[in-house]
Amino acid sequence: MRETRDGKRDRPGERMTFAGFPSRPQSTAVPNVFFSDVLPSLADDAAAVGVALYAFQALQAKRGSPRFVTEEELGSDPPLAAYLRTAGLDANALSRGLARAVDAGMLLSLAVEREGERRELYFLNAPADRRGMESVRAGTVELGSVVAHQPAEGAATPGIFALYESLVGTLGPGIADDLTEAERLYPAEWIAEAFREAAAQNVRSWRYISRILERWASEGRDHAKTERDPAGDDRYFRGKYGSILKQRLKG
């Protein structure tokens, strides 16, 4: 038997009873949208729930910009390690939890390489943190060369109709044609990212999403080239977005 900080005694193997919050505790702000839009998609994985919550704490403890965490940082956090251990999770739980948080759109990942060492940086999917990530991507903040993301073999990207129904709602009259046209013109990765950006801004509108895609098509997205190269294939120039793609190819 041992004595706890509040004078209570507990037996070995028993969980300590929480003594209650102090009058002015240090706090971590968690946006309400996390509980409504993110947590339900993580609820089937205790690792993902724990990693997501501890990531909020770790990121808010950061000062300056850009703010990011790495798997190594989270792995060295004693409370998170205790949570994963108590939950009986395996050695891959932390990696799996981070991957689920990225898939859910809560975290954004960016791989960088410096002096032959690769690191995966995790940013909160919020406006200021996205700007911080873009400063790393653009080289304004020197953390290493950005490593192009290679999707896992066999990984599936949700279709545009599933994305629309999960964010915007039930398909309305005429919207199916617009979605089909957009799916034909833009890479699946662009479409998924545009929906994530709209969700992060809490804008549930196809018009908003389509304007994101149009902007990327005309101005470029992170200086990336579309994987669906329309050169030499007239079908890409048909429809309402054809003129935009023509303009982009001339740039």
Task: Give residue for tokens 């120039």.
Answer: 237
Domain ranges, residue 246: 160-250
Let me know if residue 224 belongs to a domain. yes
Cis peptide before 127 (omega within 30 of 0): no
Co-location of 127 and 55 in the same domain: yes
Let me know if residue 171 belongs to a domain. yes
User: Residue 68 in contact with residue 122, Cβ under 8 Å?
Assistant: yes
Q: What are the pLDDT digits (tens) for 121-140?
A: 999 988 888 888 888 887 78
CA distance 184 to 238: 10
Q: Taking the chain, what is the end-to-end CA distance rounded to the nearest angstrom?
A: 74
Co-location of 35 and 124 in the same domain: yes
Co-location of 137 and 72 in the same domain: yes
Whether the per-residue pLDDT at 232 is higher than 60: the answer is no
Q: Which residues does 68 contact at the CB level (< 8 Å), separation at least 6?
A: 59, 62, 110, 121, 122, 123, 129, 132, 133
CA distance 223 to 146: 13
Q: How far is CA 98 from CA 11, 21, 26, 72, in A?
A: 35, 28, 24, 12
Looking at residue 234, which CATH number applies to its domain? 1.10.10
Task: Give residue for tokens 């915007």.
Answer: 168
At 105, the pLDDT band (50, 70, 90 cuts) reads confident
pLDDT at 242: 53
Co-location of 35 and 130 in the same domain: yes
Q: What are the pLDDT digits (tens) for 193-229?
A: 898 888 888 888 899 999 999 998 888 766 444 334 4
User: Residue 155 in contact with residue 187, Cβ under 8 Å?
Assistant: no
Who wins on pLDDT, 233 or 39? 39
End-of-domain residue from the set 100, 122, 146: 146
The number of residues making up the chain comes to 251
At 147, the pLDDT band (50, 70, 90 cuts) reads confident
> Which range among 90-99, 130-139, 145-154 shows the weakest confidence by mean pLDDT?
145-154
Burial class of residue 250, CB neighbours in 10 A (0-12, 13-18, 19+): exposed
pLDDT at 244: 52
Who wins on pLDDT, 4 or 120? 120
pLDDT at 213: 92
Whether the per-residue pLDDT at 18 is higher than 90: the answer is no
Q: What are the pLDDT digits (tens) for 32-60?
A: 888 988 898 888 889 999 999 999 999 99
Q: If you average pLDDT over every residue of the chain, what do you get?
A: 77
pLDDT at 90: 82
Mean pLDDT of 134-147: 80
Co-location of 128 and 174 in the same domain: no
Co-location of 232 and 137 in the same domain: no
The count of structural domains within the chain is 2
Co-location of 142 and 174 in the same domain: no
Co-location of 48 and 134 in the same domain: yes
Co-location of 38 and 136 in the same domain: yes
End-of-domain residue from the set 146, 169, 194: 146
End-of-domain residue from the set 114, 146, 178: 146
pLDDT at 247: 53
Let me know if residue 2 belongs to a domain. no
% residues pLDDT > 70 (the chain): 76
Q: What is the CA radius of gyration of the chain?
A: 22
Let me know if residue 237 belongs to a domain. yes
Co-location of 130 and 170 in the same domain: no
Whether the per-residue pLDDT at 83 is higher than 50: the answer is yes
> What are 43's two structure tokens?
């609820």
168-195 b/e (C-beta count within 10 Å ≥ 16 → b): beeeeeeeeebbebbeebbbbebbbbbb
CA distance 223 to 138: 10
Who wins on pLDDT, 117 or 225? 117
Let me know if residue 90 belongs to a domain. yes
